[in-house]
Structure 1
Amino acid sequence: MNVTGFLCFLLFLGLVAVIAIYKTRKMRLNTTAAYFMGNRTLGFWMVGFSLFLTNMSCNTLIGENEFVYTNDMSVMAWGMSSVLAMLIVAEFFLPIYLRMGAVTTPDFLGQRFGPRLKKIVSLFFLASYVVSLIPTVLYGSAVALNGIFHVDEVLGISYFAAIWLLVIAVGIIGCCYTVLGGFRAITVSDLVQGAALLVGGILLLVFGLRYLGQGSVLQGVQTILASKKEHLNAIGSAHDPIPFSTIFTGMFLINLYYWGMEQYIMQQALAAKSLSQGQKGISLAALGKVIAPLLLNVPGLIAVHLYPTLTNTATVFPKLIGDVLPPVITGFIAAVVFGSAISTFNAGLNSSGTLFIMNLYKQWRSRAGDRELVKAARIFQLSITLVAMCFSPFISRFDGGFYYYIQKMSSFFSVPVFTVMIVGFMTKKVSETAATIGLLFFIVTYMLSQLVLDLPLHYLHVLGILFITTVALMLIVARWKPMATPYVQPNTAVVDLKPWRSRHLFFLLLLVLMAGAFILFSEAGIAKQ
């Protein structure tokens, strides 16, 4: 283990913790509004950096770089195409949530369709976080930290044991942040960590290219551009793991769901002090997604040339950090990677508590006061942390790779919920019965398509087909049994709903940058053979 790097790692983590404690020292966490939403006081900087860092977890850092190493840049499509989804969310979805004063995204379903569907979807969210989100964050951070500091070698234990040990350490630290500091402490640390992530990404890129170019950054760039150019292509063919055509089907639906309906993501925007600040924050996060390939994908390209025969491809990103960076910067990057993991973990844990307390526990204990609700939330968060700690190390045994596991598991929960939500947004007479039938139909048929049937279609295309089929089914059922009274959304906003004036110009710039990135990493750009 590099002692200097490890000390720098601890120093930066301590600095972030001190800043978070100092900035939240006067804030009391004895109300649900303070504990879950930071009293809705977030400006656009906090919203933007929290969204960016929550999305930029160890899962993504490790998974996407591993994908580039083993395949090509087509994985970039997930992040780059999400820019369009984020702009749609800022323009259309966020105003709907803020107008009704939503605390959770299923609140809309409760108001639009009824309490039964709200509870069902809240349970789906919680199941997704316990099975997919929180365990993968713990596992990804453990893989990264072990790859950087070689904990298994230092302690003389097996790789699996080291992963388990690190999972426990990350889980304890992250849980302390959430349970003791609440939502505001999370967002303050996200602001610091987000800025550090951008600096760290640039440093890793520069040092990585210089290492590849034997002292010359320019030579490193030329090496990447001169050989193994098949890895540079972001336009996946029909036979690639991520065909480019999936951008227009299931991938687009998942991105819309993720940025506009996923509780642990939307909670950052729902805590904005106004609609304008929320829209600016989402746009700032979208700008981060445009430049994210520098950290998410280019290190994988560098690793293609440095490590032609890696056996454990999940170690691509942490191995590169340990090999190319000076000790002090290694510790800094390790702390940033750890911080991104903690950010996503905290967001998932905080959102799990919000969903459980506000949508389930509060319905059961209708007379419970804020103190009881906050206490129950902390107990629940501790419980699911323990469950995730026990489960996450076994992700290493999953056949198909870490990133494949993440996307595959999340798709079981995401698009079915998205389908019901979007129909609720777009129609006024579709009833709770139609929505419930549609939700169950989607889940059952998708599970059959992936676990029982052997379809000659990419799973993202299957999601697109099922989306259209389920919407049609819900509309048919609604014709047979519509709502007695068409839905009209009441205005119960608790923040200013005036939109950001300059948003459309900024949105256009982001879309141009998104298209430019796809052209750059294609056969029309630098991937030309």
Structure 2
Amino acid sequence: MENIHNFLHTIDFVVVLAYLVILIGIGYWVSFVKKSKKDENLFLAGHSLGWGSIGFTMWGTNVGPSMLIASASIGYTTGIVAGNFSWLAFIFIFLLATVFAPRYLNAKVQTLPEFMGRRFGESTRKILAWYSLVTILISWLALTLFAGGILVGQILDLPLWGSVIILVIIAAFFTIAGGLKAIAITNIFQMLLLIIVSLILTVVGVYKAGGLVTIYESTPTEFWNLFLPVDDPNYPWIALVLGYPVMGVWFWCTDQSMVQSVLGAKSLKQGQMGTNFTGWLKILDVALFIIPGITCLVLFPNLTNPDEAYMTMVTRLLPAGMVGLVMAVLIAALVSTIDSALNSLSTVFTMDIYLKKYNPNASQKEIVKIGRIVTVVGAVAAIFLTLAIDSIKGLKLFDVFQAVLGFIAPPMSVIFLFGVLWKKSTTLAANFVLSGGTIISLGIGIVYFITKEQVDWPHFLLLSFYIFVFLSFCMWAISFFGRKKATDNNQLLDNIPSKTSKSVWISWILLIIVMIGLYIFFNNN
């Protein structure tokens, strides 16, 4: 099959260039021309977010271009089983709404490290800051650059390292020109545009393939089952049932990027309704991102690289010009994610580590200088991490994403579950799990990736579950047999608002019924 690059037209590249120039222009206008007295936005938007903003923000953060490309790829090779990573999320979004959000909002914190710092003390907050740097570097920077590098490589016919460097340079250029603000302003528009384009792609693809019935009959029966047998080599049901919850608790309940909009809610009710809206939006993931991959298998069964499934559908089925628009939205959204991650990395290091430990009296000029240095160092480190991820053999793009996240998740899931649900959890236990547990979890992950071709490992989701169980035992044992310190503030968990409104419960009951129905329907094949 011909290279994707060969199917692009001059008009497509003109549209991409025009789109990026317009964004830069808007960024310049917002940053330097349209200045107002309220220049600085509050971190949590002044606690003014309603349920709609919260739902779209959480969903948009989750379903960026990197996940879109990966989802189409796994749909091409395994069917809708990867939909579990979207549809099982409702359980943990519900956990956020009913267990974690009331405690976060009652504590009136701005960040989750701050919450854990108030629960266990300043030492835990410092360790969590370093942990956040690692997770930002790996999960938000390296993985995004990896998927983005694949996308740009398909468009420009470049090797991954060249594509990644181009993305980093574009991201830096946007920052200098004020493009980050522009992308932040247009982010919801871009996500809606991405939804519309993906919906058009799904409809056109299904029509070209002869309809849903033809697609169903042209693919293996197991492609339409959410739970596969225990001996399935890709995603056995036992691995999903045991391993995904570890990732789900971390990603939906404890990751700052995902929870931040809930912290900015007008009220607990708005936060809970917003999370419920996110759960409804997650239903769309299978239709918008995985079905195009399955349809691509029917229309173009001879792809040598499944990671090209989404762009193959775009370039073969959409007219010139619209292909360029899709490319522009994907690239701009990728640059937005990279910019945000670099800024987060710089902010965490500068504010929570440099100012706290090394130079509390630093001038504003010194703070800016350190921030810029960290941004550059972070970008370079992310490039090398991306190339390291690219060296992983025997895993599909989607599997790489989930496996990496699976080894990041256990320590955070353990300390937040125990810290929030068990008052006897201690600072010593939390610090061990955060520091020692992270070394254990990431160490096992590195060995797993290096030796996967030579060693018959358990499924990476099962490994994540085993690590979680071990760290949970450590958290319990150290807390139970160790001494309680003055910094162990279990009173933070008292006086939690217990009354959840009737409308919130009705919304969640309806979503739960729909999700159960979907799982029954897609497990009868």
TM-score (norm 2): 0.84
2:484 corresponding residue in structure 1: 483
Q: Pick closer, same or farther for the CA change 1:98–1:377 going to 2, 3 Å.
A: farther
Residue deviations 1:291-346 (CA, integer Å, cap 9, x gap): 11122200110111122222222111111111111123222222332244234334
Q: Pick closer, same or farther for the CA change 1:376–1:249 going to 2, 3 Å.
A: same
2:102 corresponding residue in structure 1: 95
Distance 2:124 2:340 in 1: 23
Q: Pick closer, same or farther for the CA change 1:171–1:99 going to 2, 3 Å.
A: farther
Written as runs of structure 1 = structure 2, the 5 A alignment for 1:386-465 is: 386-393=380-387, 395-399=389-393, 400-440=395-435, 442-443=437-438, 445-446=440-441, 451=447, 457-465=458-466
2:81 corresponding residue in structure 1: 74
Distance 1:51 1:195 in 2: 14
Q: Contact 1:179/1:381 (CA < 8 Å) preserved in 2?
A: no
2:62 corresponding residue in structure 1: 55
Residue identity in the other structure for 1:282: T
Q: Pick closer, same or farther for the CA change 1:253–1:167 going to 2, 3 Å.
A: same
Pairing 1:171–2:168 present: yes
Residue identity in the other structure for 2:217: A
2:5 corresponding residue in structure 1: none
Q: Contact 1:353/1:381 (CA < 8 Å) preserved in 2?
A: yes
Q: Pick closer, same or farther for the CA change 1:186–1:421 going to 2, 3 Å.
A: farther
TM-score (norm 1): 0.84
Q: Pick closer, same or farther for the CA change 1:55–1:21 going to 2, 3 Å.
A: farther
Q: Pick closer, same or farther for the CA change 1:175–1:261 going to 2, 3 Å.
A: farther
Q: CA deviation at 1:204?
A: 0.8
Q: CA deviation at 1:290?
A: 0.9
Structure 2: gaps of 5 or more residues: 1-7
Distance 2:350 2:502 in 1: 36
2:4 corresponding residue in structure 1: none
1:108 corresponding residue in structure 2: 115
Q: CA deviation at 1:437?
A: 2.9
Residue identity in the other structure for 2:91: L
Report how many residues are paired.
504
Written as runs of structure 1 = structure 2, the 5 A alignment for 1:180-219 is: 187-212=184-209, 219=210
Q: Contact 2:127/2:434 (CA < 8 Å) preserved in 1?
A: no
1:380 corresponding residue in structure 2: 374
Structure 1: gaps of 5 or more residues: 153-158, 213-218
Q: Pick closer, same or farther for the CA change 1:500–1:378 going to 2, 3 Å.
A: farther
2:127 corresponding residue in structure 1: 120
Aligned residue for 1:61, secondary structure, equals helix
Pairing 1:140–2:174 present: no
1:216 corresponding residue in structure 2: none
Q: Contact 2:16/2:324 (CA < 8 Å) preserved in 1?
A: yes
Aligned residue for 1:249, secondary structure, equals helix
Distance 1:271 1:372 in 2: 30
Aligned residue for 1:392, secondary structure, equals helix
With 428-437 and 193-202 compared, the bigger mean Cα shift is at 428-437
Counterpart of 2:260 (choices 249, 258, 267) is: 267
Distance 2:442 2:169 in 1: 34
Residue identity in the other structure for 2:403: K
Q: Contact 1:5/1:327 (CA < 8 Å) preserved in 2?
A: yes
Residue identity in the other structure for 1:101: K
Q: CA deviation at 1:85?
A: 0.9
Residue identity in the other structure for 1:236: L
Pairing 1:84–2:100 present: no
Pairing 1:367–2:361 present: yes
Written as runs of structure 1 = structure 2, the 5 A alignment for 1:289-308 is: 289-308=282-301
Q: CA deviation at 1:207?
A: 1.7
1:230 corresponding residue in structure 2: 222
Residue identity in the other structure for 1:64: S
Q: Contact 1:280/1:500 (CA < 8 Å) preserved in 2?
A: no
1:155 corresponding residue in structure 2: none
Distance 1:44 1:12 in 2: 30
Residue identity in the other structure for 1:50: T
Aligned residue for 2:229, secondary structure, equals coil
1:511 corresponding residue in structure 2: 512
1:156 corresponding residue in structure 2: none
Residue deviations 1:362-404 (CA, integer Å, cap 9, x gap): 3123334777656644442343123323542454332122222
Residue deviations 1:1-42 (CA, integer Å, cap 9, x gap): 3122233334444555666676774467986x74x5555554
Q: CA deviation at 1:143?
A: 1.8
Aligned residue for 2:302, secondary structure, equals coil
